[in-house]
A and B are shown apart, each in its own frame.
Chain A
């Protein structure tokens, strides 16, 4: 359960954002829609604890995360959050499998190789586990980054523009994957996008402007 209330953020005196309050239950999906420049990425980074809000609160299961120190925020990210970035990035020298296990390692958890293989199977890239990430196609890379976000069974999954580069068919597929996978582990799924195709798929949504 993710709850945000009265979040504000300021890059400087001119560039300030204040966001509406919202909440997202476990296993449910929240859509944050908005055009460029409306603070989508800022909000996502606030939720991802990469930026610290000026005021307001971010709670995951009633635990407060808004004003954590950088060190605690890093720890909280590793244990509570799974983040899927718009462009898939990996540690290029490592194989797909090692990139998945890296999520465990950086969160100081045991390396769950079985889980990685299982996720790869359900997301359909089991045969790619030993390959370098640079050899993967865009769609494959995205599925790998979804798997990586799930590796630590987070309570909240944040997805930044997961469908912007995809055609309608793949868009549908990825959204279904995201939804089913986060339901599976009982996580709140937050999708931040400008993609109008997703507008009617979700009931729980906020629109930034």
Chain B
């Protein structure tokens, strides 16, 4: 019955209640959305980083090097000679070196020249087709395959640069030989091929632009001796390095940065730096959302305060009918609690809808992991916070119940 009266009172003031719930919903939804997105981002970043201890590439911003080589989101810092990198890889502390070569794209998806170790690093499997063997064979990431509609056996021309508007390399067409399983990592958004393919495409381009008569390279450079002979001049964009022991982390990056033309960057440090930078924005939004929640609390307060003034006689009446003041106090408290409860539930629901919309918008670059739709631990604190605001906002005006003079109130009306 207490719940019923509270509920009826809420229904009786539909607009007021709606406003309170709406504000609470917005506050909760924003915070909860930020929590979810933050967790998703962190998970994504953590998953892609795992196992990569160091990235070497051309001098420049270390963050840029990490973003371009590990996450495939920024432009590369420039090219380096493969043999310089291989020299570093000779170091006994290095367990594995994965060369990466980029420069072209297909419909905005990067074409990445690399070797089998890159696939092993992501523990990815070929869903259909086979690995690339010949030059210009490519394997598509799952996301690329589904959004471009390319199938095995299809051919396509790449565009120069990393955005879709680049100049088209029309002469040589890549051929799709395999499609990867969905991996929930950057590899989903990549077109993978051999290092040779990338070199091959660009050699031809250079030759054409120079209008050089020398056509000795024009023969398909698939034969090993020729490729090796050219290795000294071969350039790659960067290389991912795994160490045998943490000792590598201590000595190698400094050594490389000081004594070579290369740059070494540590993903763990750069990602932390990135999150610190992002954190400012997230914090700002969270404060905004907290303010909205607070305003919702104030609106519950004002709404209850006003309705209590109107319902003063009603309260005196119920007291004269034998209600205890504590019972009426609880009844009013319940109204605040109910309002914040609805706000919380609607907010959590709204944030889930928001995340689905956002991930649909960004699905090309950002795949949302549906398994994280469950309540986050942060949201439990959010729930406690919302409830506290509701209780406080209701308790402050309701305290007056204990001061109400029944006899005078009844006599006055």
Residues of A within 8 A of B (CB): 41, 45, 48, 50-51, 71, 74-75, 77-79, 83, 85, 87, 89-94, 98, 101-103, 105-107, 111
Contacts and interface: CB of A to CB of B under 8 A. Distances in A.
A141 to B, nearest CB: 13
A74 B324 contact: yes
B216 interface: no
Interface of B: 1, 4-5, 8-9, 11-12, 311, 313-314, 317-324, 327, 406-407, 410-411, 413
10 contacts: A45-B410, A50-B406, A50-B407, A74-B319, A93-B5, A93-B12, A98-B4, A102-B1, A102-B318, A106-B323
A106 B322 contact: yes
A83 B320 contact: yes
Given A41-B411, A74-B319, A111-B1, A93 B324 contact: no
B16 to A, nearest CB: 12
Given A45-B411, A105-B1, A111-B1, A98 B321 contact: no
Which of A50, A51, A93 gathers most chain B CB within 10 Å?
A93
A93 B413 contact: no
Contacts of B410: 45, 50, 85
B336 to A, nearest CB: 16
A78 B322 contact: yes
Contacts of B318: 91, 102, 106
Given A89-B313, A94-B5, A111-B1, A77 B12 contact: no
B12 A87 contact: no
Contacts of A71: 324
A42 to B, nearest CB: 8
B56 to A, nearest CB: 71
Contacts of A105: 1
Contacts of B1: 101-102, 105, 111
Given A51-B407, A98-B4, A89 B321 contact: no
Closest 6 CB pairs of A and B: A78-B322, A93-B12, A93-B8, A50-B407, A106-B323, A105-B1
A94 B8 contact: yes
A48 B8 CA distance: 28
A92 B318 CA distance: 12
A135 B245 CA distance: 82
A162 to B, nearest CB: 15
A88 to B, nearest CB: 10
Contacts of A45: 407, 410-411
Given A87-B413, A89-B313, A105-B1, 9 more contacts: A75-B322, A77-B321, A78-B323, A92-B12, A92-B311, A93-B5, A102-B1, A106-B323, A107-B322
A172 B4 CA distance: 37
Given A45-B411, A89-B314, A77 B8 contact: no
A93 B13 CA distance: 9
A50 B413 CA distance: 15
A4 B314 CA distance: 29
B322 A77 contact: yes
B321 A103 contact: yes
Contacts of A90: 314, 317
